Amino acid sequence: MSESWMHGYEMLNGVRLHFVRQGEGPPILLIHGWPGFWYEWHLNIPVLARQHTVIAPDLRGFAYSDKPDLPAEEGYTAEAAAGDLLGLLDRLGLRRVGVVAHDIGARVAQALTRADPARVARLVLFDPPYPGIGARWTEPGHVREIWYQTFHLLDWAPGLVGASRKTTELYLRHFLSHWSYDKRLFTDADVAEYVEAYSQPRALWGGFQYYRARARQEKTWAGLPAPALQVPVPTLVLWGENDPVLPVRWADRLPEYFPHLTFRTVPACGHFMMREQPDLVHREVLGFFRDLGQG
Protein backbone atom coordinates (compact mmCIF):
# COMPACT_ATOMS: atom_id res chain seq x y z
CA MET A 1 0.00 0.00 0.00
CA SER A 2 1.33 3.44 -0.95
CA GLU A 3 2.92 5.14 2.04
CA SER A 4 2.95 8.75 0.83
CA TRP A 5 -0.70 9.30 1.69
CA MET A 6 -2.48 10.08 4.96
CA HIS A 7 -4.10 6.74 5.81
CA GLY A 8 -6.62 6.23 8.58
CA TYR A 9 -8.84 3.52 10.03
CA GLU A 10 -12.12 3.68 11.93
CA MET A 11 -14.22 0.90 13.42
CA LEU A 12 -17.81 1.36 12.21
CA ASN A 13 -20.73 -1.06 12.54
CA GLY A 14 -18.23 -3.76 13.50
CA VAL A 15 -16.18 -3.13 10.34
CA ARG A 16 -12.70 -1.58 10.32
CA LEU A 17 -12.82 0.86 7.45
CA HIS A 18 -9.67 2.14 5.75
CA PHE A 19 -9.60 5.59 4.18
CA VAL A 20 -7.24 8.23 2.83
CA ARG A 21 -7.64 11.83 3.96
CA GLN A 22 -5.99 14.90 2.44
CA GLY A 23 -6.48 18.65 2.45
CA GLU A 24 -8.54 21.25 4.27
CA GLY A 25 -11.80 22.97 3.44
CA PRO A 26 -15.39 21.91 2.65
CA PRO A 27 -15.38 18.09 2.65
CA ILE A 28 -15.70 15.79 -0.36
CA LEU A 29 -16.30 12.04 -0.11
CA LEU A 30 -14.97 9.96 -3.03
CA ILE A 31 -16.58 6.51 -3.43
CA HIS A 32 -14.86 3.95 -5.66
CA GLY A 33 -16.31 1.21 -7.83
CA TRP A 34 -15.23 -2.26 -8.96
CA PRO A 35 -12.51 -3.09 -9.70
CA GLY A 36 -11.40 -0.27 -7.51
CA PHE A 37 -10.41 1.01 -4.10
CA TRP A 38 -9.21 4.36 -2.79
CA TYR A 39 -6.28 4.41 -5.24
CA GLU A 40 -8.49 4.90 -8.28
CA TRP A 41 -8.72 8.54 -7.12
CA HIS A 42 -4.94 8.99 -6.75
CA LEU A 43 -4.73 11.56 -9.58
CA ASN A 44 -7.66 13.53 -8.18
CA ILE A 45 -7.03 13.64 -4.45
CA PRO A 46 -4.03 16.04 -4.55
CA VAL A 47 -5.82 18.50 -6.86
CA LEU A 48 -9.15 18.47 -5.03
CA ALA A 49 -7.35 18.68 -1.67
CA ARG A 50 -6.04 22.13 -2.55
CA GLN A 51 -9.54 23.44 -1.84
CA HIS A 52 -11.30 20.65 0.07
CA THR A 53 -10.94 18.04 2.75
CA VAL A 54 -10.95 14.87 0.65
CA ILE A 55 -11.97 11.51 2.13
CA ALA A 56 -11.46 8.40 -0.06
CA PRO A 57 -12.45 5.19 1.74
CA ASP A 58 -12.22 1.55 0.77
CA LEU A 59 -15.77 0.22 1.01
CA ARG A 60 -16.34 -2.77 3.27
CA GLY A 61 -15.19 -5.88 1.44
CA PHE A 62 -12.54 -4.06 -0.57
CA ALA A 63 -8.77 -3.74 -0.35
CA TYR A 64 -7.64 -2.63 3.12
CA SER A 65 -11.05 -2.47 4.82
CA ASP A 66 -12.60 -5.42 6.66
CA LYS A 67 -14.53 -8.10 4.80
CA PRO A 68 -17.24 -9.23 7.24
CA ASP A 69 -18.32 -12.85 6.87
CA LEU A 70 -21.97 -12.05 6.19
CA PRO A 71 -24.48 -13.07 3.54
CA ALA A 72 -24.40 -10.68 0.61
CA GLU A 73 -27.98 -9.52 1.11
CA GLU A 74 -27.15 -8.62 4.71
CA GLY A 75 -23.61 -7.27 4.62
CA TYR A 76 -22.92 -6.11 1.08
CA THR A 77 -25.89 -4.08 -0.04
CA ALA A 78 -25.53 -0.47 -1.09
CA GLU A 79 -27.42 0.42 2.06
CA ALA A 80 -24.98 -1.44 4.31
CA ALA A 81 -22.01 0.29 2.71
CA ALA A 82 -23.80 3.64 2.92
CA GLY A 83 -24.33 3.07 6.64
CA ASP A 84 -20.57 2.66 7.09
CA LEU A 85 -19.91 5.91 5.27
CA LEU A 86 -22.49 7.84 7.25
CA GLY A 87 -20.81 6.50 10.38
CA LEU A 88 -17.42 7.57 9.05
CA LEU A 89 -18.68 11.10 8.43
CA ASP A 90 -20.01 11.18 12.01
CA ARG A 91 -16.70 9.93 13.40
CA LEU A 92 -14.76 12.54 11.43
CA GLY A 93 -17.15 15.32 12.45
CA LEU A 94 -18.23 16.08 8.89
CA ARG A 95 -21.79 17.36 8.99
CA ARG A 96 -22.39 18.00 5.29
CA VAL A 97 -20.36 16.84 2.31
CA GLY A 98 -20.14 16.74 -1.43
CA VAL A 99 -20.07 13.22 -2.83
CA VAL A 100 -18.35 11.96 -6.00
CA ALA A 101 -18.85 8.34 -7.07
CA HIS A 102 -19.06 5.86 -9.93
CA ASP A 103 -19.88 2.19 -10.60
CA ILE A 104 -20.73 0.34 -7.34
CA GLY A 105 -19.82 3.54 -5.53
CA ALA A 106 -22.60 5.34 -7.42
CA ARG A 107 -25.11 2.81 -6.07
CA VAL A 108 -23.78 3.41 -2.58
CA ALA A 109 -23.92 7.18 -3.08
CA GLN A 110 -27.56 7.00 -4.15
CA ALA A 111 -28.43 4.87 -1.12
CA LEU A 112 -26.54 7.23 1.19
CA THR A 113 -28.30 10.29 -0.22
CA ARG A 114 -31.76 8.75 -0.05
CA ALA A 115 -31.06 7.66 3.54
CA ASP A 116 -29.89 11.09 4.71
CA PRO A 117 -30.33 13.78 2.04
CA ALA A 118 -29.49 16.56 4.50
CA ARG A 119 -25.96 15.11 4.70
CA VAL A 120 -25.23 15.51 0.98
CA ALA A 121 -24.94 19.07 -0.27
CA ARG A 122 -24.26 18.04 -3.86
CA LEU A 123 -23.66 14.81 -5.73
CA VAL A 124 -21.46 14.02 -8.74
CA LEU A 125 -21.80 10.66 -10.50
CA PHE A 126 -19.87 9.18 -13.41
CA ASP A 127 -21.73 6.74 -15.71
CA PRO A 128 -23.95 5.65 -12.79
CA PRO A 129 -25.88 2.40 -12.52
CA TYR A 130 -29.33 3.67 -11.55
CA PRO A 131 -32.86 2.21 -11.49
CA GLY A 132 -33.81 3.63 -14.89
CA ILE A 133 -31.50 1.21 -16.67
CA GLY A 134 -33.89 -1.59 -15.78
CA ALA A 135 -33.71 -4.73 -17.88
CA ARG A 136 -31.41 -3.16 -20.45
CA TRP A 137 -28.42 -4.79 -18.75
CA THR A 138 -29.38 -7.95 -20.66
CA GLU A 139 -30.53 -6.39 -23.93
CA PRO A 140 -29.38 -8.12 -27.14
CA GLY A 141 -25.75 -7.41 -27.84
CA HIS A 142 -24.92 -6.28 -24.33
CA VAL A 143 -24.77 -9.62 -22.54
CA ARG A 144 -21.21 -10.11 -23.80
CA GLU A 145 -20.22 -7.03 -21.76
CA ILE A 146 -21.71 -8.23 -18.47
CA TRP A 147 -20.60 -11.86 -18.34
CA TYR A 148 -18.45 -11.03 -15.31
CA GLN A 149 -21.54 -10.09 -13.29
CA THR A 150 -22.79 -13.68 -13.50
CA PHE A 151 -19.30 -15.09 -13.00
CA HIS A 152 -18.96 -13.13 -9.75
CA LEU A 153 -21.98 -14.99 -8.34
CA LEU A 154 -20.19 -18.36 -8.50
CA ASP A 155 -18.82 -19.71 -5.23
CA TRP A 156 -15.54 -20.75 -6.84
CA ALA A 157 -14.94 -17.48 -8.72
CA PRO A 158 -12.77 -15.77 -6.04
CA GLY A 159 -10.56 -18.83 -5.74
CA LEU A 160 -10.07 -19.10 -9.49
CA VAL A 161 -9.22 -15.42 -9.99
CA GLY A 162 -7.09 -15.37 -6.86
CA ALA A 163 -5.21 -18.60 -7.51
CA SER A 164 -2.02 -16.54 -7.82
CA ARG A 165 -0.96 -12.93 -8.13
CA LYS A 166 -0.58 -13.55 -11.86
CA THR A 167 -4.17 -14.73 -12.30
CA THR A 168 -5.36 -11.77 -10.25
CA GLU A 169 -3.33 -9.45 -12.46
CA LEU A 170 -4.67 -10.97 -15.68
CA TYR A 171 -8.26 -10.60 -14.51
CA LEU A 172 -7.97 -7.02 -13.27
CA ARG A 173 -5.84 -5.88 -16.20
CA HIS A 174 -8.56 -7.07 -18.59
CA PHE A 175 -11.17 -4.74 -17.12
CA LEU A 176 -8.84 -1.80 -16.59
CA SER A 177 -7.93 -2.01 -20.28
CA HIS A 178 -11.23 -3.06 -21.88
CA TRP A 179 -13.33 -0.45 -20.08
CA SER A 180 -10.93 2.41 -20.91
CA TYR A 181 -11.00 4.46 -24.10
CA ASP A 182 -7.19 4.32 -24.22
CA LYS A 183 -6.42 0.63 -23.74
CA ARG A 184 -2.89 1.43 -22.52
CA LEU A 185 -4.02 3.97 -19.94
CA PHE A 186 -3.18 1.97 -16.81
CA THR A 187 0.55 1.59 -16.31
CA ASP A 188 2.28 -1.45 -14.86
CA ALA A 189 2.74 0.54 -11.66
CA ASP A 190 -1.00 1.25 -11.52
CA VAL A 191 -1.84 -2.41 -12.09
CA ALA A 192 0.59 -3.43 -9.35
CA GLU A 193 -1.37 -1.26 -6.89
CA TYR A 194 -4.60 -3.01 -7.89
CA VAL A 195 -3.05 -6.47 -7.65
CA GLU A 196 -1.72 -5.73 -4.17
CA ALA A 197 -5.11 -4.46 -3.01
CA TYR A 198 -7.02 -7.43 -4.45
CA SER A 199 -4.45 -9.87 -3.07
CA GLN A 200 -5.45 -8.89 0.46
CA PRO A 201 -7.26 -11.76 2.22
CA ARG A 202 -10.85 -12.08 0.94
CA ALA A 203 -10.66 -8.89 -1.12
CA LEU A 204 -11.82 -10.62 -4.30
CA TRP A 205 -14.61 -12.35 -2.38
CA GLY A 206 -15.69 -9.08 -0.77
CA GLY A 207 -15.93 -7.25 -4.08
CA PHE A 208 -17.86 -10.10 -5.67
CA GLN A 209 -20.36 -10.04 -2.78
CA TYR A 210 -21.71 -6.72 -4.05
CA TYR A 211 -22.80 -8.46 -7.24
CA ARG A 212 -24.67 -11.06 -5.23
CA ALA A 213 -26.44 -8.31 -3.29
CA ARG A 214 -27.15 -6.36 -6.49
CA ALA A 215 -29.27 -9.14 -7.97
CA ARG A 216 -31.81 -8.70 -5.18
CA GLN A 217 -31.64 -4.91 -5.35
CA GLU A 218 -32.49 -4.91 -9.05
CA LYS A 219 -35.67 -6.88 -8.32
CA THR A 220 -36.63 -4.42 -5.59
CA TRP A 221 -36.06 -1.45 -7.88
CA ALA A 222 -38.21 -3.03 -10.59
CA GLY A 223 -41.21 -3.04 -8.25
CA LEU A 224 -40.98 0.62 -7.25
CA PRO A 225 -42.09 3.75 -9.10
CA ALA A 226 -39.43 6.30 -9.99
CA PRO A 227 -40.53 8.88 -7.35
CA ALA A 228 -39.79 6.35 -4.58
CA LEU A 229 -36.17 6.11 -5.75
CA GLN A 230 -35.45 9.75 -6.49
CA VAL A 231 -32.27 11.38 -5.23
CA PRO A 232 -33.40 14.80 -3.96
CA VAL A 233 -30.17 16.83 -4.10
CA PRO A 234 -28.45 18.79 -6.88
CA THR A 235 -26.72 16.18 -9.01
CA LEU A 236 -24.15 16.41 -11.79
CA VAL A 237 -23.89 13.33 -13.99
CA LEU A 238 -20.93 13.07 -16.36
CA TRP A 239 -21.19 10.12 -18.76
CA GLY A 240 -18.32 8.84 -20.88
CA GLU A 241 -19.39 8.44 -24.50
CA ASN A 242 -17.22 5.33 -24.91
CA ASP A 243 -18.09 3.33 -21.80
CA PRO A 244 -18.71 -0.23 -23.04
CA VAL A 245 -20.38 -1.55 -19.88
CA LEU A 246 -22.64 1.46 -19.15
CA PRO A 247 -23.43 2.91 -22.59
CA VAL A 248 -24.37 6.58 -22.69
CA ARG A 249 -27.75 5.86 -24.30
CA TRP A 250 -28.85 4.54 -20.90
CA ALA A 251 -28.78 8.08 -19.54
CA ASP A 252 -32.19 8.74 -21.08
CA ARG A 253 -34.18 8.22 -17.86
CA LEU A 254 -31.90 10.14 -15.49
CA PRO A 255 -34.37 13.06 -15.04
CA GLU A 256 -36.96 10.68 -13.57
CA TYR A 257 -34.61 9.73 -10.73
CA PHE A 258 -32.56 12.91 -10.32
CA PRO A 259 -34.99 15.84 -10.29
CA HIS A 260 -32.20 18.41 -9.80
CA LEU A 261 -30.00 17.16 -12.62
CA THR A 262 -27.15 18.66 -14.62
CA PHE A 263 -26.03 16.23 -17.31
CA ARG A 264 -23.05 16.25 -19.66
CA THR A 265 -21.45 13.66 -21.91
CA VAL A 266 -17.69 13.30 -22.13
CA PRO A 267 -16.09 12.30 -25.45
CA ALA A 268 -13.03 10.06 -25.69
CA CYS A 269 -13.82 8.58 -22.29
CA GLY A 270 -14.67 5.08 -21.13
CA HIS A 271 -15.60 3.79 -17.68
CA PHE A 272 -12.81 5.27 -15.54
CA MET A 273 -13.48 8.97 -15.97
CA MET A 274 -11.45 10.07 -12.95
CA ARG A 275 -8.40 8.39 -14.49
CA GLU A 276 -9.13 9.01 -18.17
CA GLN A 277 -10.15 12.68 -18.02
CA PRO A 278 -8.74 13.98 -14.73
CA ASP A 279 -8.47 17.63 -15.79
CA LEU A 280 -12.10 17.68 -16.87
CA VAL A 281 -13.12 15.93 -13.65
CA HIS A 282 -11.26 18.47 -11.53
CA ARG A 283 -12.78 21.39 -13.41
CA GLU A 284 -16.33 20.03 -13.23
CA VAL A 285 -16.17 18.88 -9.61
CA LEU A 286 -14.56 22.05 -8.31
CA GLY A 287 -17.03 24.16 -10.25
CA PHE A 288 -20.06 22.20 -9.07
CA PHE A 289 -18.81 22.30 -5.47
CA ARG A 290 -17.79 25.97 -5.61
CA ASP A 291 -20.31 27.00 -2.91
CA LEU A 292 -20.10 23.73 -0.96
CA GLY A 293 -19.07 25.45 2.27
CA GLN A 294 -22.17 27.66 2.30
CA GLY A 295 -25.24 26.45 4.16
**Residues marked as catalytic:** 103, 211, 271
How many whole angstroms separate alpha carbon 239 and alpha carbon 79? Answer: 24
Pairing of strands 97-102, 120-126: parallel
Distance in angstroms (rounded) separating the CA atoms of residues 235 and 256: 12
CA atoms 188, 55, 209, 199: torsion sign: positive
